Chains A and B, each alone.
Chain A
Amino acid sequence: MKLLLSDTPLTIHLKKENEIYIDLSQLKISNCIGCFGCWTKTPGKCVIRDDAVKVYPMIANSEKIIYVSHVKYGSYDTIMKTMLERAIPIQQAFIRIHNNETHHVQREVKNKDAVIIAYGELSQEEKDIFTRLISRNANNMSFSSYRILFVTKEELTSTVEQEVALW
């Protein structure tokens, strides 16, 4: 599966059956409440049954993924960050050593090539923090490779089209 996950509406038409585009801004996704239910009560399933439960299995199943997110304080802005926090059912509570650091064990999550398209008017400091964030995500989100593209909002559609064309 190839997944395009965006925090803003995009005018993009995916042609193949295994290519999926999700506009998170149109979904109802509430905050993770940190209950650990997805680890210790109903493993692999979030107890909040909103739209996030359709999205995280797709994240797990994708071999190629494009995240499109506005950046705030060097972080994904709230729409994308809320979804990524709600994706913790794809991990177990248990800890392993991975790349010489402790990280959660992954469930059935495919290794993926990730492209992160980060948009906004960003300072170099903000870009540097975001780059370090993605490097940390790579350990926890099964990225076999990743690229980060910093663009303005105006450049978003053309950049997404170019990256989808590479699929």
Chain B
Amino acid sequence: MVKTIIINGSPRAPKSNSKQYAEIFRKYYTGETISFMINNRNHSEICDHIEGCSDIVFVFPLYADGIPSTLLNFLKTLETYQINQKPRVHILINCGFIEPEQNNVALDMMRLFCRQNRYEFSSTLAIGAGEAFLTTPLSFLVKGKIKKFAKLVASKKTEHLSVTLPLSKKSFVKASTKYWIAYGERFGCSKEQMASMKIE
């Protein structure tokens, strides 16, 4: 059966950027899809649905330089499941930094999971500036890359893609500062309060 399961491994799945990226993927992907957001209670349900799928697309953010513990927990459950026909695995990862290559270690963790558990590791898309990308006038760049990634998944080709905002690091720092100040203002938190050096 040709069916793709999209698994969102973001700790804030319902409100996540990963959810938005997954929705863009679905828009451009021509095949049948089913989607899940990992939580503590639905590991078995997701594993049951993996059987019978031709492809898995894991969508998640970089967390503390690696894969989020939400996803790590799920992978540990998945490796205990007997899946007879293992789907090919694709990864759509995003990080808040401008360098998409900061995602590489997390991608290699997923590659290792696949090798250890005999899943074919296929295409990847690493997104930089992933927190704010979709709110910028340049969002078409990331959407275009997701479209290309969706075509790769559909055509069973393997390629490793990346995309980020075309800004210098300095300009990115400036733009991200503006973004976070506006984010804090929504909760009545000033730039000075957000920049507090105090912990607890």
State yes or no: do A and B come from one complex. yes
A contact set with B: CB distance below 8 Å = 31-36, 39-41, 43-45, 53, 56-57, 60, 72-78, 81-82, 84-85, 87-90, 92-97, 100-103, 105, 107-109, 125-126, 129, 132-133, 136-137, 140
Residue pair A57, B187 in contact (C-beta under 8 Å)? no
Within 8 Å by CB of A85, from B63, B113, B180, B187, lies B63
Partner pick for B67 among A40, A75, A126, CB 8 A cutoff: A75
Interface size on B, residues (CB 8 A): 52
Contacts of B12 in A (CB 8 A): 33-35
Q: Does B65 contact A (CB under 8 A)?
A: yes
- Cα A98 to Cα B61 in complex, Å, equals 21
When each residue 179-200 of chain B gets 1 if its CB lies under 8 Å from chain A and 0 otherwise, what string results? 0100110110100011111111
**A-B contacts, CB under 8 A, total:** 150
Cβ-neighbour of B66 out of A33, A75, A94 (below 8 A): A75
- Please tell me if the beta carbons of A78 and B73 are within 8 angstroms of each other in the complex: yes
Q: A90-B199, A93-B180, A95-B172 are in contact. List 16 more A-B contacts (CB 8 A).
A: A34-B11, A73-B109, A74-B112, A78-B73, A93-B194, A95-B97, A96-B173, A97-B173, A101-B97, A102-B97, A103-B97, A107-B199, A125-B115, A132-B108, A133-B66, A140-B64
25 A-B pairs in the complex with CB atoms less than 8 angstroms apart: A31-B70, A36-B183, A40-B184, A40-B189, A40-B194, A41-B187, A41-B189, A43-B196, A53-B200, A74-B108, A75-B109, A78-B73, A78-B76, A81-B69, A81-B72, A85-B11, A85-B63, A87-B64, A92-B194, A94-B180, A95-B172, A97-B170, A102-B169, A132-B108, A140-B64
